[in-house]
Amino acid sequence: MIAALGAGDTAAAGPKLLEPERAFAFSVQALDERTIEARFAIANGYYLYREKLHFSIEPATLAAMPTLPPGTIKDDEFFGKVATYRGQLAVRLALAQPAPGTNVTVRAESQGCADAGVCYPPQVQNITVKMPLPGRPPEAPIAATPTRKSWFN
Amino acid sequence: MTTRQVRWALLCAVAGFVALAAGIYAGIDGRDSLTVDMRGKDAAALLGVSLPDTKGKETPLAQWKGKVVVVNFWATWCVPCREEMPEFVVTQRELGGRGVQFVGIAIDQPDKIDAFAAELNLNYPALVGGFGAIELSKTLGNRYGALPFTVIVDRAGRVAHTQLGRLKEPQLRTILTHLL
């Protein structure tokens, strides 16, 4: 009630925001015995900073640093030209060695903001996937479990 | 309509009016609905906090009890935070003598805080909060744990205003003038 009525035009960031886990929904899918795809589904009106995005895996090691898409260049008053991501982001993580049947934990560190004028602190999310056996189809993507429930739900 | 139904209808009408009035009041007051309404609540938990400055010196907020204390949670990686801070510097300069004290709590590293403070000629304390400060801000109504988040505490030590997102200067001046 108050959220709807009291939102007012003075609320700098609008009447409603998403929890960071929902604004930047992280999921992971093992595509084959040595390839993982990490994805962020970024809600409309939100963006992630490219240079604040880092992936690592355990206990396996990556074949190389993952190639992040170039993103969209934002001309920032303070930071100059910075690359940001909006919408869907997918990053392939190639393991140094095939690891069929083993559990691999993907760790993603990210930081983003809302166009409404607020920024979220850097967040670290972990998702564990089981690498498929050779020739087997990939398992369904696994989404990060939100650690907090929205006050609105 | 039975007496009971009438009573129920009246109760609903009163409840509706109260809710509407609260909503209108919140709108007039400019209260930010992105935060849990903490107005009037005792800010003892916040004023009881002691945090290090960028040189490691413990700085208890209790030293500013009796003043109108504006606690701003910020970070150098937060553009809207950086945008509003020059206005805080001006307001501190102009209203500091009348009992306003700004305190910045940064979720950031000391060297980055120092660099931005120097750039801004920051004239109020910049304390190092770390991620614990986000948790502290949540206890003060910052339901999303986002930045910038500002809490204004009145002279009696009660929460007068909370704001998620930029606190614009006219609104800030209106609130502070009312509290001084």
* pLDDT tens per residue across span A3-21: 333 333 334 444 589 999 9
Q: Could you say which of A5, A52, A76 has the minimum Cβ distance to residue B23? A: A5
Residue-level pLDDT at B10: 53
* pLDDT tens per residue across span B151-174: 999 999 999 999 999 999 999 999
Q: Does A115 touch chain B (CB under 8 A)?
A: no
Which amino acid, residue A64?
A
Block means of pLDDT (10 residues each) for chain B, 180 residues, are: 55 48 40 77 94 97 97 96 96 97 97 96 96 92 95 97 94 96
Q: Could you say which of B33, B82, B131 has the minimum Cβ distance to residue A3? A: B33
The rounded distance, in Å, linking the Cα atoms of A139 and A131 is 8
- Tokens 């991501």 label which residue? A85
The CA-based angle A5-A7-A9, given to 5 degrees, is 115
| Residue of chain A whose Cα is closest to the Cα of B74 | A119
Kindly state the DSSP code that residue A5 receives in the 8-state scheme.
Answer: H
Q: Does B146 touch chain A (CB under 8 A)?
A: yes
Compute, in degrees rounded to 10, the torsion defined by CA atoms B111, B113, B118, B123: -140
The contacts of residue B108 (CB under 8 Å, 6+ apart) are B74, B75, B76, B77, B128
Is residue A50 predicted with pLDDT exceeding 90?
yes
Q: Do A117 and B80 touch (CB under 8 A)?
A: yes
Contacts of A6 in chain B (CB under 8 A): 22-23, 26-27, 31, 33
Residue A25 backbone dihedrals phi, psi, to 5 degrees = -80, 115
Residue-level pLDDT at B2: 56
Q: How far is B29 from chain A (nearest CA, A)?
A: 9
Most confident of A18-27, A131-140, A143-152: A18-27
Contacts of B85 in chain A (CB under 8 A): none
Q: Could you say which residues from 117 to 136 on chain A have a Cβ atom under 8 Å away from some Cβ of chain B? A: 117-122
Are the C-beta atoms of residues B64 and B103 closer than 8 Å to each other?
yes
Residue-level pLDDT at B176: 97
Q: Which of A36, A40, A63, A68 is nearest to A125 (CA)?
A: A40
* pLDDT tens per residue across span A80-117: 889 999 999 999 999 999 999 999 999 999 999 999 99
**Between A140 and A121, where is the model more confident?**
A121
Q: Does B20 touch chain A (CB under 8 A)?
A: yes
Q: Does A43 touch chain B (CB under 8 A)?
A: no
Q: Place A135 in a pLDDT band, splitting at 50, 70 and 90.
A: confident
Which residues are paired to B52 by β-bridges? B58
Q: How far is A30 from chain B (nearest CA, A)?
A: 31
Q: Does B120 touch chain A (CB under 8 A)?
A: no
Q: How far is A84 from chain B (nearest CA, A)?
A: 14
Are the C-beta atoms of residues A93 and A55 closer than 8 Å to each other?
yes
Contacts of A52 in chain B (CB under 8 A): 77
Q: Could you say which residues from 11 to 40 on chain A have a Cβ atom under 8 Å away from some Cβ of chain B? A: 11-17, 19-20
Residue-level pLDDT at A80: 83
- CA distances (Å), B99 to each of B92, B154, B180, in order? 9, 10, 7
Q: Do A5 and B80 touch (CB under 8 A)?
A: no
Percent of chain A with pLDDT over 70: 85
Q: Which of B13, B33, B8, B38 is nearest to B23 (CA)?
A: B33
Q: Residue A42 has which token pair?
A: 């970024």
Q: Do the strands A88-94 and A35-42 form a parallel or antiparallel pair, or are they unpaired?
A: antiparallel
The rounded distance, in Å, linking the Cα atoms of A139 and B127 is 47
Residue-level pLDDT at A2: 33
